[in-house]
Amino acid sequence: MAQIDVHNLSDHAKFNGFHGMVLFWCALIIIFDGYDLAVAGIALPSIMKEMGVTPATAGYMVSSALFGMMFGAIFLGTVADKIGRRWAIVICIVLFSVFTAIAGLTHDPVMFSATRFLAGLGIGGVMPNVVAQMTEYSPRKIRSTLVTLMFSGYAVGGMLAAVLGKGLIETYGWSYVFFAAAAPVILIPFVLGSLPDSMPFLIKKGRIDELKRIVQRLEPSYIPSADDSFALPDPHTAHGAPIGKLFLDGRGFSTAMLWVAFFMCLFMVYALSSWLTKLMASAGYSLGSALTFVLVLNFGAMIGAIGGGWLADRFHIKYVLMSFYALAAVSITLLGVKMPTELLFIVVGLAGASTIGTQILTYAYVGQYYPMAIRSTGVGLASGVGRSGAILAPIVIGTLVSMSLPLQQNFLAIAVPAVISVIAIGLVNHKRSASAVH
């Protein structure tokens, strides 16, 4: 009888077509997720004009989706450990696709906010699940690279929203960029047929034949036998409440610090995603030019995510993260300084790399920090608690915009959280990380 440790097997497997398939589907889901999230910020100036709302009210409207994301990340991140990751991901796709499209049919702030809240449940819920999925099935040597490569789809979605926004908003109106969000629903049967479920979940449910087929694809040299038994090492077997496990084994303080970093990072990400178009338009740029800044922001995010993942697999991920947050503090502060447009594009790209790109790298770090059996819960809780930063950002910056402060002060308010994030990540005890014990 062979006793097979699936965690160890996944850690040491060589990258093959199975890994590529998991990467493809997770990245594609995140592209749609990123589109649905970015679309409100892209359309914000047009929505404000059509509905006749103030910047402060617009901030609350944008935050409604982020409020939904908080509940989605917590509930749909943890429920995956009970119903399986595939079904949790499918539920999220239905929520964010259908309700983003319905938001395009609304004509008043309340209905818009309600549909965006429901879409937010799916947008927030899918993130921890695909991070946990990619982390679980990635070889340890290239784990950060694969997770951040997958999550760079978030920036691709933002770029797609900016490109479609430039083409559709001025010609047909803002509703049409929302209608386009319904497309992912047709992919659901393919997701169910292609994505594997979590290995600890399959062991827990006794679905061993299914697990053997996955293990054979994960590691082609494995030849299944009727006598094989599958196990997880003790630290990766959750007994009792998974949420309580996040605070055991000396991880309590570090969990709190990861939550602080998430809060601050998501504040920066959503402040920029929601208000960059409007701030640049207020600074005298045309709507087309302002949308180009969003395109550059997300292009920078993609480069930052992939580059950050590459660096994290070669150097210590904790110190790579701290460096990125420091870059965010500098680049966001510089956005409020008068400079030639070409130079401003570079600074916007750096801001995207060090905020959206760093958020993706932070997801990768949290995914590696917790043991496999509580990974979805760990990522979901960090993301969910951090959502309060995302919720506050559009409201806080909307309030500042309505006060007609100098441009530099608006960007300074977005930069301060980056400094706090450097300190928080610096205080994480990496020796308690699951990835540090192998």
Write the DSSP string, 251-272: THHHHHHHHHHHHHHHHHHHHH
Question: Cα dist. 112→48, 62, 99, 123, 333 in Å?
Answer: 12, 9, 10, 16, 32
- At 2 the pLDDT is 61
Rounded Cα distance between 335 and 345, Å, is: 9
**What tokens were used for 352?**
């995207």
Q: Give the global pTM.
A: 0.74
* Element (DSSP H or E) covering residue 332: helix 317-334
* Element (DSSP H or E) covering residue 31: helix 17-51
- At 370 the pLDDT is 77
pLDDT in tens, 179-189: 988 989 998 99
pLDDT band at 232 (very low <50, low <70, confident <90, very high): low
With a cut of 50, say whether residue 437 has pLDDT above it.
no
Burial class (CB in 10 A: 0-12, 13-18, 19+), 431: exposed
Summarize the confidence of residues 275-284 as an average pLDDT.
77
Summarize the confidence of residues 253-262 as an average pLDDT.
89
Cross-strand bridge partners of residue 231: 5
Which of 354, 369, 386 minimizes the C-alpha distance to 431? Answer: 369
Q: Are 51 and 177 a contacting pair, CB within 8 Å?
A: no
With a cut of 50, say whether residue 59 has pLDDT above it.
yes
Which of 272, 42, 57, 68 minimizes the C-alpha distance to 178? Answer: 42
pLDDT in tens, 326-371: 999 999 999 878 788 788 889 999 999 999 888 878 887 887 777 7
pLDDT in tens, 100-149: 999 989 888 899 999 999 999 998 888 888 888 888 888 888 887 888 78
